[in-house]
Amino acid sequence: MHYLEFEKPLAEIEGKAEELRAMGVANEEMDVDKEARALDKKASELLRELYTDLTPWRKCLVARHPDRPHCKDYIEALFTEYTPLAGDRNFADDHAVMGGLARFNDEPVVVIGQEKGSDTKSRIERNFGMARPEGYRKAIRLMDLADRFNIPVITLVDTPGAYPGKGAEERGQSEAIARSTEKCLKIGVPLVSVVIGEGGSGGAVAFATANKLAMLEHSVYSVISPEGCASILWKDAEKMREAAEALRLTAQDLKELGVADRIIREPVGGAQRDREAAIEAVGKAIAGMLDPLRKKDRDALIKQRRDKFLKLGARGLAA
């Protein structure tokens, strides 16, 4: 288990309980059970306490937690017959973006998502979930495919942002993102999206411009990272806590602003503590969003999506 900075007190208690149990195994005459259970109880109480009212900055940390289920985990667990389709037909296949045909509850869908990787090797291969233009162009191609065969699209959003690289700029990073957003708005099939971790700026918009958007309880979606915002507006990257607070980037704030349509409850202590439960909850939410959309015709789907974004910004948040 990887503990976040604010979870240090929890790590201590859980560490102690573990030590105690190890001692109990070593010396059979010692009765550690009662004490260990007391520690467990204390730990679970503390965990509950830590995760109620997480500050926005802590939510950012949880959203980026390396042990959270990632796109690949959701695809493997929630979809059958997943058949990856690769490449943008122009330049390359971007491994930061997974996508292909699959079945969701036995119905064919196109699933697309950003994958951050789960160990050093896969993180490098996936470029930490930061797509290049090829990734967005692959997504565009897959959305076109879905549109042509009347198959719904499900996108899973988890990216720090689009990759800031020389080649990415030369090959039209901004054009690729703009076209992907445009494609999201154009397709005449249901498009549902879930922010499973980090919704990083334009790189997320290119996938999340959906009929319905759900966000995991501790996920974030923002115009800029708190660190980036702090270094620009506070001229001090260390002011990320203040920036996270000011940006109103939590799922709860976004629901209130009408950007997110629903919030998916996470297990106590975050999705990383009970991955199966989190994945199952996401599956239910996708089904809940998708089913009513299947009954709508092409024009109604496009209109609903457009109207949703045109109307955004009609209400703000209180301080």
Partner 1 sequence: MNWITNYVRPRINSIFSRREVPENLWSKCDECGTMLFHRELRDNQNVCTNCGHHMAITPRERFAAMFDGSVFNEIDVPEPIHDPLQFRDQKKYPDRMKAAQKKTGERDAMLVAEGEIGALPIVAAAQDFSFMGGSMGMYVGNAIIAGAERAVATGKPFVLFSAAGGARMQEGILSLMQMPRTTVAVEMVKEAGLPYVVVLTHPTTGGVTASYAMLGDVHISEPNALIGFAGARVIEQTIREKLPEGFQRAEYLLDHGMLDRVTPRTEMREELITILRMLMNQPPAIKGNLPAPEAPEAAPVAEAAVTAPEAEPKP
Are 266 and 281 within 8 A, CB to CB? yes
Q: Which residue, 257 or 277, is less far from partner 1 as judged by CB?
A: 257
The correct pick among 24, 108, 165, 188 for binding partner 1 (CB under 8 A) is 165
Beta-carbon count within 10 A of 77 CB: 15
Q: How many residues bind partner 1 (CB under 8 A)?
A: 55
Site for partner 1 in 289-318 (CB under 8 A): 306, 309-310, 312-318
The answer to whether the Cα torsion of 199, 310, 109, 94 is positive or negative is negative
42 binds partner 1 (CB under 8 A): no
Token pair for 40 = 């467990």
Does 92 interact with partner 1 (rule: CB under 8 A)?
Answer: no
Q: Decide: is 188 part of the binding site for partner 1 (CB under 8 A).
A: no
Q: Is 57 in the site for partner 1 (CB under 8 A)?
A: no
Which residue's entry shows tokens 């730990």?
43
Range list of H helices, the chain: 8-26, 33-51, 56-63, 71-78, 120-125, 133-148, 166-170, 173-186, 201-208, 226-229, 240-247, 251-257, 275-294, 298-311
**DSSP designation for 250:** B
- φ, ψ for residue 103 (rounded to 5)? -110, 135
Q: Does 140 bind partner 1 (CB under 8 A)?
A: no
By CB under 8 A, is residue 26 in contact with partner 1? no
Judged by CB under 8 A, does residue 186 bind partner 1?
A: yes
Pick one of 1, 30, 232, 300: the residue that binds partner 1 (CB under 8 A): 232
* Residues in touch with partner 1 (CB under 8 A): 162-166, 168-175, 177-179, 181-182, 184-186, 201-202, 205-206, 209, 221-224, 229, 232-234, 242-243, 246-249, 253-254, 257, 259, 306, 309-310, 312-319
